[in-house]
Structure 1
Amino acid sequence: MGTEVLRVAAGHPEFTVVRVFDVDPAAEDRVRAAHPTVAFAREVADVVAAPDVDAVYFATPPAFHAEQVVAAITAGKAVFCEKPLAVDLADGRRMVDAAARHGVAAAVNFALSDRDGVLEVERRLPEVGEVRGVDIRLHFPRWPRQFQSHATWLARGEQGGFVREVLSHFVYLTDRLLGPLTPVDVGVDRPRDDPGASEVAARGFLRAGDVPVHVSAFSGIAAPELYEWVLWGSERSYLLRNWGDLLVSDGGEWTPVALSGPRGSEATRLSHFAAAIAGRHPRELADFPSALRVQEVVESFLA
């Protein structure tokens, strides 16, 4: 994600990338040739203290977030952070408190915050009737996924796993549309031969107010990769599949919903972040308090 957002930000009309730092020097080596005009800092302090820096994007592994993000906020910089907000709940609360105390723009990069299918469901909520429930289903033939294979920390339970990395997006979506989630019965399974590894299964029963929410997720299974979020309504139900495909049912077969406008991407979320820096508060951008609520739910699965 750091590499992708760097690429997008370098070509974005509202941003100029002036400093890059990574806790892993090899990560810098992978992007240095593509960004020859960008200075590579030796310490994160060189970024957050730089007078020509107005905002900092964080894509370090989540155990590093709190210290680095709070330093940037204290220096008066706006912050755009990858999810999860943090691993330790005390760290997440410290980040939220720092952003509120210093009054800077602080946002989290949830991919579904401005996805066109999500915005369409949000517009159509009055047509759903009574909301009867939500289902979240995730399948991963392998974890970490192929494009993440160099990020070895994702395979370990200390700060990785698909509950933090992927389920968090759908917890955010449910929280946004239906309100905060309360875990009722949640948990994960880890490999018997490596209990320190990331989870291989997650199951959960939660409530958003009175609405039941079910989670079923597996990795390392002989099945296609799958991401499904279903909103069950008494009049209409909606299925968001594989991040961008939206389908609707009024009791019959699922039928595709035609979507218009931008799909939602790192580029559009950076535009929303620029608006937040300018003092506006776009709904299409996740804030720190909502990310903390997501973190609290996610960590309840892993506790």
Structure 2
Amino acid sequence: MTRDTLALGIIGAGIMGERMLGVLAGPDAGSVRVAGIWDPSEAALARIAARYPAVPRLADADALIAASACVYVASPPASHLGYARRAAAAGRSLFLEKPLAVDVAEARRFVDEADIRGAVNFPFAAAPAVARLVRWIAESVVGTPRRLTIAVAFAHWPRPWQADAANWLDARAEGGFTREVVSHFLFLARRLLGPLASLEGHADFPQAGRAERAIEATLSAGGVPVRLRGQVGGTDLADHNTWTLEGDAGTIRLRDWSIAERMGPDGHFVAAEDALPNDRARLIALRGQLDGVVRMAHGEPHPLATFAEALNVQEIVESLIAA
């Protein structure tokens, strides 16, 4: 007996909402269908209508929620929990874009009170390169972890493909690369090593009202020391990042989102034989996330980031930004 196709509604017609539509409108949507999409911006909905004319465009958030079995909230961060509560009150399951929120106290209340099936979109939960890192750790390539280093750099912020959302992505209130990018690598540390704890850090805000341009911090993940540094500038690449785990037996890393590498005897990193460029790996991860959404909505075990994991990441991110 096959189960019904999951009706997934999307709140937010920005980059992430459109990426989700791109998979759902293709041949690999699996057991998920688009219930509809809504965004307060008429221009954003017009763009969706031109590219995906068959996708229902609902009148408002409540109409979208009513038409859905599960709601994907892909709006700017400060609005996440408002929509989440409305969907939860209607008995819908939830898939929230990260970060969980920007107000830590509000997020804690939500997680404490939430009695629903839900998860948060951290694609590393289904990324092929992360699966390779997990296998290497299980095979004792690293041994006992000694330290983790997270480094991110950007030629400019926001990145070129985010220009249309610069009004909030480059605002201190809910934007910045720490929330948008660093959070992914903190989630990875949390998932593979254990709970995160902040020790000390400093964020640089050289322009009033704008997002940070640099950050330095030390923290821990499952007791493993973590060094974090990030900056806008210092690279010609739109987006460059490394997540490097050193142990008493060896060193592995994730580079530029999708390349799993291990250090050879000569001290140079060698990519895994199955490494994929990010555009291909991202699509595989998103399909894996959708499979997880179906499992989550039906109360089955899934690999998606839990509300508790996302809250832990948010607590660290907001403490670093405040510092």
Shift, 1:230, TM fit: 0.2
1:44-63 equivalence runs, <5 A: 44-48=61-65, 50=66, 52-63=67-78
Shift, 1:222, TM fit: 4.3
Q: What is the match of residue 246 of structure 2?
A: 232
Task: Find 2:169's aligned residue among 133, 148, 154.
Answer: 154
What SS does the aligned partner of 2:157 have? Answer: coil
Q: What is the match of residue 299 of structure 2?
A: 279
Q: What is the match of residue 214 of structure 1?
A: 227
1:270 equivalent in alignment to 2:283: no
Task: Find 1:40's aligned residue among 50, 57, 64.
Answer: 57
Deviations 1:1-43 (A, max 9, x none): 1111122123313112122111222211111122223332222
What SS does the aligned partner of 1:17 have? Answer: strand
What SS does the aligned partner of 1:16 have? Answer: strand
1:28 equivalent in alignment to 2:45: yes
Q: What is the match of residue 74 of structure 1?
A: 89
Shift, 1:195, TM fit: 2.1
CA distance in 2, matches of 1:203, 1:26: 38
CA distance in 2, matches of 1:226, 1:38: 34
Unaligned runs of 5+ in 2: 1-15
CA-based RMSD: 1.8
Contact 1:83 1:110 in 2 (8 A): yes
CA distance in 1, matches of 2:75, 2:223: 37
Shift, 1:209, TM fit: 3.6
Shift, 1:46, TM fit: 1.4
Contact 2:244 2:254 in 1 (8 A): yes
Deviations 1:195-251 (A, max 9, x none): 210000011100124311001100133433311000001112101100111111254
CA distance in 2, matches of 1:211, 1:268: 29
Contact 1:23 1:60 in 2 (8 A): no
CA distance in 2, matches of 1:54, 1:234: 48
Shift, 1:83, TM fit: 0.5
Provide the TM-score with structure 1 as the length reference. 0.92
The AA in structure 2 aligned to 1:70 is R
Contact 2:154 2:231 in 1 (8 A): yes
The AA in structure 2 aligned to 1:301 is L
Identity %: 36
CA distance in 1, matches of 2:317, 2:217: 10
Q: What is the match of residue 13 of structure 1?
A: 30
Unaligned runs of 5+ in 1: none
Task: Find 1:133's aligned residue among 143, 147, 153.
Answer: 147
Q: What is the match of residue 257 of structure 1?
A: 272
1:115 equivalent in alignment to 2:127: yes
Shift, 1:287, TM fit: 1.4
CA distance in 1, matches of 2:146, 2:32: 43
Report how many residues are paired. Answer: 295
CA distance in 1, matches of 2:109, 2:75: 18
CA distance in 1, matches of 2:30, 2:310: 27
Q: What is the match of residue 165 of structure 1?
A: 180
CA distance in 1, matches of 2:314, 2:223: 21
Contact 1:235 1:250 in 2 (8 A): no
